[in-house]
Amino acid sequence: MKDYYYFLGISRDASEEDIKKSYRKLSLKYHPDKNDNDDFFANRFREIQEAYEMLSDKSKRKTYDENLDSHQKTFRYNTPPSIKSFSSNKVHAKKGEEIIITWQTQNADVVKVLPFGLEKAYGERIFRITEFKDGKFQILLHATNSLLHKTVVQGITITEVFESNKERIIDKAEDLFKSQPKTAINPHGQPKIVKIILAILLLALALYFLINSLL
């Protein structure tokens, strides 16, 4: 069952004026004419209109609230969580480029979008990727029904793209000299370049001793 309150970004006790204000603001933001008729914005705009038509009518809203309460109580106790949709407007992006992700879950009372944290059952998030790890940025959606102790997970991987080979080479070079996370293997967080130099030195020593043993 759709959560129209979430579509409009309002609480269950929102006033008629709150509903109108939210509808005006969101309909302007997501109107297809202002967003090159992009499918994402068109779908979001339809959801906003649908929610407003339901909640702006007192009689429809009362019936909807009753059905929503009944639905949530019934399904929370008997049905495992599921992810109806989880998508990104881009799966290839450059650093600093704007990304929009959307998700819709069912029967989940705890929803997390990592690396961001707790979210609502339906939602969207707009963000910019400032750092890729090995050319990738991973986003994970966790939907949990805490009463059933069940969780489902779905992921999206966004790969880094470069404007030119020169930019790629510069990025790789900078990565070699960045401090790494501290681990048991690398307790001081030494940059990758240190490991490479040590590996070359060990290889050189091994070849030196091998040559001397053969002479």
pLDDT, tens digit (0-9, with 9 covering 90-100), for 143-174: 988 777 889 999 999 999 876 555 555 556 56
CA angle 192, 195, 199 (to 5 degrees): 140
Which residue is it, tokens 């400032």? 130
pLDDT value for 206: 79
The pTM of this model reads 0.49
Q: How far is CA 36 from CA 26, 31, 42, 45, 164, in A?
A: 16, 9, 9, 13, 28
Give the pLDDT confidence score for residue 82 in this predicted structure: 92
How far does CA 68 lie from the centroid of its chain? 27
What's the pLDDT at 34?
81
What's at 115, amino acid-wise?
Answer: P
Please check whether residue 136 is in contact with residue 161, taking contact to mean a CB–CB distance below 8 angstroms: no
Task: Indicate the pairing of strand 150-160 with strand 92-93.
Answer: parallel
Q: How many CB atoms lie within 10 A of CB 111?
A: 19
- Collapsing DSSP states into helix, strand and coil, what is residue 131? coil
Q: Is 35 helix (H, G, I), strand (E, B) or coil?
A: coil
pLDDT at 37 > cutoff 90: no
Question: Of 161, 124, 122, 121, whose CA–CA distance to 139 is shortest?
Answer: 124
215, containing H or E segment = none
**pLDDT per residue over 175-203, tens digit each?**
666 666 666 666 767 777 777 887 888 88
